[in-house]
Structure 1
Amino acid sequence: MDQMKVTYEVMLGLAAEMIWDEALRKHRSEQIYSEIDSALAKGDEEAFRALTEELKALEDLKECR
């Protein structure tokens, strides 16, 4: 019975970590989209390219999971 409790707690911890990771990824993606809009409005091509690369990297991480 104790082993089941430990296993259950570990699984809950992993589920919480997955939810937290997804929330952080989503928040950062929203920030990047906002920053991309600003870069476009300013005509800052260098910032635009860097931000789109970061966004692609975040999307690639999401697909790997």
Structure 2
Amino acid sequence: MKKHLLNAPKQSEMVDSLLAEMVLDQALRNFRKGQLQKEIDLALQDGNKEQFLRLSKELNLILQEAI
């Protein structure tokens, strides 16, 4: 029983750490998604097909990771 109680805080810290990492990853993904959307808009305005395709591909990869 004592052994289980000693491990409890470590498990709680691990869970907290994993949750924090998940939140941070999601925030970074959302930030990058917003950046890409703005850059895609600019590429469309400039008529830069190559940049549009490259950025769209990256955005699609990010969106697929979320599934």
Do Structure 1 and Structure 2 share a fold, with TM-score over 0.5?
A: yes
* Segments ≥4 residues shifted beyond 3 Å: none
Give the whole-Å Cα distance in 2 for the aligned partners of 1:50 and 1:24: 19
Which runs of no fewer than 5 residues in structure 2 stay unpaired?
none
The one-letter code of the counterpart of 2:25 is D
Residue deviations 1:14-45 (CA, integer Å, cap 9, x gap): 00000000000000000000000000000000
CA RMSD between the two structures: 0.5
Among candidates 30, 55, 58, match of residue 54 of structure 1: 58
Give the whole-Å Cα distance in 2 for the aligned partners of 1:62 and 1:10: 23
TM-score by length of 1: 0.94
Which runs of no fewer than 5 residues in structure 1 stay unpaired?
none
- How far 1:61 sits from its partner (Å)? 1.1
Aligned length: 63
TM-score by length of 2: 0.91
**DSSP 3-state at the match of 2:66:** helix
